[in-house]
Amino acid sequence: MNIALIGYGEVGRILAEDLRAQGVALSAYDLKLDSDHGQPLREHAAALGVVLGAAHAQAVHGVDLVVSAVTASQAVAVAEACAPGLKRGAFFLDFNSASPAAKCRAAAIVDGTGGRYVEGAVMTSLPPYRIKVPLLLGGPHAAALQPVLAELGFAPKVASETLGVASATKMCRSVMIKGLEAMVIESFTSARHYGVEDAVVASLQESFPGIDWEKQASYFFQRAIEHGRRRAEEVREVAQTVREAGLEPFSAAGTAQRQAWVADRGDEGWFGARGTPAFARSADWRIEADRILSHLNKD
């Protein structure tokens, strides 16, 4: 089977490593390949033997399976860009954290060209699980793709033949998970400012004894610092999902703002330069909270 990876960020590179370890032929494309940030991606692809396309349609030309893993806002645009290069019957697995309505629009584009669109909902952070991350599939072609993915080492489960069900499951979960990240950063940084962080953590530990709040807080800080930009885009799609249900997404909209705020501060160097040991590697959330507070106090 020939596979194309559209999006060669964290998810794309992990999948490339695990699929190439099995000898799977891979092509890939990412918009960053054409920018100053593309050199590390090109080097990674060259080391693995991944063939890089010059454009979306070229990368997917003639392949049996396309995996789209880009930023949430680009899910439909990528389907449009890939469509001219898809061969009839090729699977198009949409990994992106987009709203159910966006997935349906992407499906119409892919299926309209003779491809077979399958929505994919990655149900937790990919790095610990890698290719075996829990994956919900949706749409009329999901059942046909499921055994193919399982043979490749994925951990897929068909959620529904109806498009949007898998995505709605992920999006509604993300209201909670991404919201917890934003709330912990806001709560714990403020608590650090007032010198009450130990009391707050102890109270949370008493109320929710199943969670190691020290460890969880550090993890939440790091994920937001490293991936706040991508998370902000995802939560905007989460907010749209809530909107499509008829609710005003007060919580999701605030979460997107906080995630984007953390990403902006990272771009300004508040957490150290990207690629250095100081960046997003602190085992103690207090270090990152102090960095935030020190910059705020300067202002």
Q: Per residue of the chain (299 residues), give pLDDT as tens.
A: 899 999 999 899 999 999 999 999 999 999 998 888 889 999 999 999 999 999 999 999 999 999 999 988 899 999 999 999 999 999 999 999 999 999 999 999 999 999 999 999 999 888 889 999 999 999 999 999 999 999 999 999 999 999 999 999 999 999 999 999 999 999 999 999 999 999 999 999 999 999 999 999 999 999 999 888 989 999 999 999 999 999 999 999 999 999 999 999 998 999 887 666 666 667 899 999 999 999 998 76
Query: Under a CB-based contact definition with an 8 Å cutoff, are residues 41 and 101 in contact?
Result: no
**For residue 9, how many other CB atoms are within 10 A of its CB?**
16
Q: Tell me which residue range forms the domain holding 283.
A: 167-298
266 in the same domain as 186: yes
Two tokens, residue 209? 């004894």
Of 110, 140, 162, the residue at which a domain comes to its end is 162
Query: Under a CB-based contact definition with an 8 Å cutoff, are residues 92 and 117 in contact?
Result: yes
Of 102, 130, 162, the residue at which a domain comes to its end is 162
292 in the same domain as 174: yes
pTM: 0.86
133 in the same domain as 13: yes
Q: Residue 286's domain is classified under what CATH number? A: 1.10.1040.10
Query: What is the pLDDT at residue 108?
Result: 97
200 in the same domain as 110: no
192 in the same domain as 156: no
Query: Under a CB-based contact definition with an 8 Å cutoff, are residues 103 and 132 in contact?
Result: no
**For the chain, how many structural domains are there in total?**
2
User: pLDDT per residue over 13-33, tens digit each?
Assistant: 999 999 999 999 999 999 998
Two tokens, residue 100? 């159910």
Two tokens, residue 193? 């400012």
